[in-house]
Structure 1
Amino acid sequence: MASASRLFVLYFVMMVFVVQMYLEAADVGASTAAGLQTNGMNRSLLQTIDCNAACGQRCKEASRHKVCLRACGTCCAKCNCVPPGTSGNKDVCPCYASLKTHGNKPKCP
């Protein structure tokens, strides 16, 4: 009888681990979808913005236009978001605002 109760406990512990792994996997999926939230709208994983057009608008008044476009394009590809306007408004896209260079300076224009 003691071996049956040990098997039950072992089975129970294994089921708890399986449920925990499932819940963690579901949480990762939810946080990924939440990370793609832009302007109050959730973007599906397949929908992306036109980085060339968005960065063209963002960098149209930059003194170093090509440098701005290159940095903005990299940030847009990572975040799938570019803040509106030619400067500021980074609160709209927290991912874009949080990227840093190797020198710990803001990467995105």
Structure 2
Amino acid sequence: MDTFRYTLPADVVASMTDMQVEIKAATDSRTYHLGCDFTSAEACGLPVGDDAYAVSFDGAQDNGDGTYTLTFTTYVYEQHGLSHVSFSLPEGQIARGLGEGTYTSGGCAP
């Protein structure tokens, strides 16, 4: 399992109702759709996925400075390790915080 955190402006997060998340391991790439309240501190239901991958929105933290930090967990259930993950963002937005120790990785049982 791999955890990703990134920061966006609060007004952008408040306008988000769904997003696409692409997960790739080796040559297999799949896209999943998350529909959540991305301002919520609570997780958004069960992970979305299939027998190969899954992704969950684990909640948002209001940073008190006009931004939210969003947390997601991806799961890879097949034999290959995670190659990359892509998160769709509203047009023109660039996530902050990605280069500041915001990624953790751990094992995931099949």
- The TM-score by the shorter chain falls in which range? under 0.3
Under a length normalisation based on structure 2, what TM-score does the superposition of the two structures give?
0.27
Q: Considering fraction of residues, name the structure with more strand.
A: 2
Q: Specify which structure has the bigger relative contact order, considering alpha-carbon pairs within 8 angstroms and separated by 6 or more residues.
A: 2
